[in-house]
């Protein structure tokens, strides 16, 4: 028996076996927020399953060196811009030139090199 059992009636889909276990309870809350965030991104940017297949960045993960060469991209804390929402002034630019918006949010070459050196 684990720390939780499946329970579709619970918001996280599981019920904790030990009710008074704050680390597990907090972790389930964090997990559910992350799950909701990921699901909302997928629904927004990949409305159809074939869109995932057409995304060259996701497909590039199959390239063996990507995990090394793409390390900085996965460090979201080094990116300094949020994805604009529809009401933001940058939203039209975001739709018009997504690549430029992403590139402009990446760390400088110096910051990336410093990060990789550590």
pLDDT for 87 beyond 80: yes
Domain boundary assignment for the chain: 1-45, 64-118
Answer for the pair 58, 70: CB distance below 8 angstroms, yes or no.
Answer: no
Q: Average pLDDT for residues 56-76, to the nearest whole number?
A: 60
Rg of the chain, C-alpha, whole Å: 19
Spatial separation of the C-alpha atoms in residues 21 and 85, rounded to whole Å? 37
pLDDT at 1: 57
Q: Average pLDDT for residues 41-68, to the nearest whole number?
A: 76
- Interacting residues of 17 by C-beta distance below 8 A, sequence separation 6+: 1, 2, 3, 4, 5
pLDDT for 116 beyond 70: no
């Amino acid at each position: 028996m684990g720390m939780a059992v499946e329970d579709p009636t619970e918001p996280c889909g599981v019920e904790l076996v030990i009710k008074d276990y704050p680390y597990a309870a907090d972790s389930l809350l964090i997990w559910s927020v992350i799950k909701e965030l990921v699901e909302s991104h997928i629904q927004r940017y990949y409305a159809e399953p074939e869109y995932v297949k057409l995304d060259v960045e996701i497909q590039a993960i199959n390239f063996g060196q990507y995990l090394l060469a793409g390390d900085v991209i996965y460090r979201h804390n080094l990116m300094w811009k949020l994805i604009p929402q529809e009401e933001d002034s940058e939203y039209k630019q975001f739709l018009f030139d997504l690549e430029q918006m992403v590139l402009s949010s990446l760390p400088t070459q110096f910051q990336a090199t410093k990060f990789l050196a550590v």
